[in-house]
Structure 1
Amino acid sequence: MAMQIGAPGGASDEPEVILDINTTPLIDVMLVLLIMLIITIPIQLHAVNLNLPQPQPQPPQAPPEVVRIEVDAASTVFWNGLPLADAAALEARLQAAAAQPVPPEIHLRPDADARYAVVAGVMAATQRAKLDKFGIVGSEQFLSPAAPR
């Protein structure tokens, strides 16, 4: 029981259909890919030897001193708990702190009722003394009760 394709008896005017795949274009594509792979492999294996310096272990450094500057509700400025007479005394202390080999961290804690001009003056004096490690602490007093802590 064989299956016969075409007209019975084998006589027809139409050419016989070839059901084979033409593999010539596939072989051409494979050869091009193979040539590109062969050309690019030496580039990937190219290496430059470098003599990089080895890291030297640094001795552990002590954390910098922390200076607490507080401004109370009466706009009095305190240096580590000691009241300062005026802005010139603050400037002198900041200049002395900046002259240290390891400049200290400045933590400013203003009161909510302190005058803005005094707090801004402390920040400006710190900037003039070129003390870069500066932060404002105690802002949790300004959080609303519903805000997460």
Structure 2
Amino acid sequence: LIIFIVTAPIMTYPIAVDLPQRVLNPPPQLVEPPPPIELRVDASNQVFWNNSPVAVGELQQRMEQEVQRDPTNQPELRIDASPDSEYDVMAKVLAAAKNAQMKKIGFQQQQ
């Protein structure tokens, strides 16, 4: 034990650590995200885009327009579906979002 106590401090090895360096150019300003898109599917399978009725066939075109405005800063798509809505309608909504390359998709819980 005494030998270990005496030799342990001698057996040290340097460790290379890359520390962050000062940046001369500040990072780019963060862009505020656009307001979210509220998409609601009611019990009668009617779809509402920000409280305005819209046909399921028009969804992909509208989503593509939103993505093309700024592909790097897309709005969040918030889907609020009634528990009584049909699965087929939700499948079409999600397919339209995928085909339009929407990246931020969330589901709201019914209260």
Give the TM interval when normalised to the shorter protein. Answer: 0.7 to 0.9
| 1:132 alignment partner AA | K
Question: Counterpart of 2:52?
Answer: 82
How far residue 106 of structure 1 moved from its aligned partner, in angstroms, is 0.4
Question: Counterpart of 2:7?
Answer: 39
Question: Counterpart of 1:131?
Answer: 102
TM-score (ref. length: structure 1)? 0.58
Q: How many residues align?
A: 107
Question: Counterpart of 2:87?
Answer: 116
Identity %: 26
| 1:125 alignment partner AA | A
Structure 2: state its 5+ residue gaps.
none
Question: Counterpart of 1:24?
Answer: none
- Residues 39 and 137 of structure 1, relative CA distance in 2, 3 Å threshold: same
Question: SS of the counterpart of 2:10?
Answer: helix
- Residues 57 and 44 of structure 1, relative CA distance in 2, 3 Å threshold: farther
C-alpha RMSD over aligned residues: 2.5
How far residue 100 of structure 1 moved from its aligned partner, in angstroms, is 2.9
Question: Counterpart of 1:66?
Answer: 36
Deviations 1:84-133 (A, max 9, x none): 2342x101111122223211100111123222210121122212322221
- Residues 36 and 123 of structure 1, relative CA distance in 2, 3 Å threshold: same
| Partners of 1:50 and 1:110 in 2: CA distance | 50
How far residue 42 of structure 1 moved from its aligned partner, in angstroms, is 3.5
| 1:68 alignment partner AA | E
TM-score (ref. length: structure 2)? 0.74
Contact 1:65 1:103 in 2 (8 A): no
| Partners of 2:22 and 2:34 in 1: CA distance | 28
Structure 1: state its 5+ residue gaps.
1-32, 141-149
Bigger relative contact order, structure 1 or 2, given CA contacts below 8 A and separation 6+? 2
Question: SS of the counterpart of 1:99?
Answer: helix
Task: Find the structure with the greater CA-based Rg.
Answer: 1
